[in-house]
Structures are given as structure tokens and as C-alpha cells.
Structure 1
């Protein structure tokens, strides 16, 4: 099984930058990175003094009762994104995470929600969840803060 790992899509970020606000109306504001911030546009940690923004983001591109929105860091200006779409993002390999699966209708697949600790094999757990016939995709989220990390399908 080949899994595709997807950061926040560049066209959505470009539309937000052009509008000067995120999709929830929050102003697109420049912040200077301290160097710990996980960037959801390219799935790496920000470097000290990089220009970033904190936005509200929901991974759904149409209305859904399952929509969960939350704060995420992205580059203030466009970046190259996450090019290794077949590789589990290293930044998120050893954190506390939630695998939040959805079925082919877009409904949450409750029986396959998985909570991961730092020492767990995140990639193996994700492969197991995605191998279930009823699971179409997974939102990988922070177990501590609940915010979106990336999409896996």
C-alpha cells in the first residue's frame, strides 16, 4: 500500500495570503519564528527568525459536520510545500498523535480512531488504519493540542 501524505494545499494558502486572512476571517499576520513551530505548509519545523503566520485551518474543502478547525503555523510567504508525499513526515514521527479516520462518505470511522505515543510506530499504525476497507483517509492530529498535522490517504 502506498500512502500519500499531504500538507495544507498550496492553492488554499495562496488564496488566504491574497485575501489577507484565513478562511475563518482571521488576519494574515507576520510572526517571527522562535524555531519550535511545526509548519503545516511544508511539514517541517520553522527555523529561528523565519517569517511565519498562525492561522485557523480546517482540512475540509466543503462544509462538513465533522469539520474541526484549529490553529496551525505556516510560512508567511509561499514555500515549496512538502515534496516527499510518499514519506511519513519526520517531524511528526515521534509525537503524541491521533489518527482520525474517515470513511468513503466522509463520516468519522470511530472504530479505527487510534491514539499514538511518542514511542509507537506511527507509520505502521497509520498503514493498519488505512488498510481497513471502510477507511478512505485519515487526518493526523496532535494528541496534545488537537490541531491538524497532515492528511494521509
Structure 2
């Protein structure tokens, strides 16, 4: 099975930067990274003193009863994004995570929600969840804070 890992789409981020606020109206504001912040635009950890922004983000592009929005860090200015779309992002491999799956109608596939510990095989778990016939895609989320990490689907 070929799997794709997708960061926040560059087009959505650019629209927010141009508007001066995120999609929920929070000001697009410069922050200086301390070096621990996981960036959802390029799926890596921020470097110390890098220009970043903290925004509220939802992976949903249209209204949905499943819509979840929360804080995520991104680069303040455009970056190159995440190029290794066929690889589980290394910065998230050894974290607590939640694989939050959705079925083909867009409803949460409750039977396949998976909680991962740092020592678990995250890539295997993703393959197991996406291998279920009723799962269309999933959102990988922080197992500690619950915030969105990235979108995962079959290629």
C-alpha cells in the first residue's frame, strides 16, 4: 500500500498570510522559535530563532460536524513544505499520537481510532488503520495536546 503524508497545504497558508489572519480570524503574528516547536507546514521542528507563527487550524475545508480546530505552529513566511510525502515525518515518529480515521462519507471511523505511544511502530499502525476497508483517510494528531499533525491517505 502506498501512503501519502500531507502537511498543511501551502495555498491555504499563503491565503492566511495574505489576509493577515488565520481562517478563524486570529492575527497572523510573528513569533521567534525557541527550537522545540513542531511546524505543520514542513513537518519538522523549528530551529532556534526561526520566524514562526502560532495559528488556529482545522484540516477541514468545508463545514463538518467532525471539524476540530486547534493551535499549530507554522513558518511565518512561506517555506518549501514537506517533500517526503511517502515517509512518516521523522519529527513525529517517537511521540504520543492519535490516529483519527474517517470513513468514505467523511464520518469518524470510531472503531479504528488508534492511540500510539512513542515506542510503538507508527508507520505500521498507519498501514493497519488505512488497510481497513471502511477507512478513507486519517488525521494524525498529538497524543498529548490533541492538535493536528498531518493528513494521511492512500496514494
TM-score range, shorter chain: over 0.9
Aligned length: 153
SS state of the match for residue 3, structure 2?
coil
Structure 1 segment 2-151 matched on structure 2, within 5 A:
2-151=2-151
Q: Cα RMSD between the aligned structures? A: 0.3
Return the alpha-carbon distance in structure 1 between the equivalents of residues 105 and 3 of structure 2: 19
Task: Give 1:81 shift.
Answer: 0.2
SS state of the match for residue 151, structure 2?
strand
Deviation sequence 1:104-141 (CA, Å, 0-9, x none): 00000000000000000000001000000100000000
Return the alpha-carbon distance in structure 1 between the equivalents of residues 117 and 18 of structure 2: 38
Gaps of 5+ in 1: none
Task: Give 1:143 shift.
Answer: 0.9
Return the alpha-carbon distance in structure 2 between the equivalents of residues 4 and 108 of structure 1: 19
| TM-score after normalising by structure 2 | 0.98
Return the alpha-carbon distance in structure 2 between the equivalents of residues 149 and 26 of structure 1: 19
| Superposed structure 1 runs of 4+ greater than 4 Å apart | none
Deviation sequence 1:35-79 (CA, Å, 0-9, x none): 000000000000000000000000001110000000000000000
Return the alpha-carbon distance in structure 2 between the equivalents of residues 83 and 62 of structure 1: 26
SS state of the match for residue 124, structure 1?
helix
| TM-score after normalising by structure 1 | 1.00
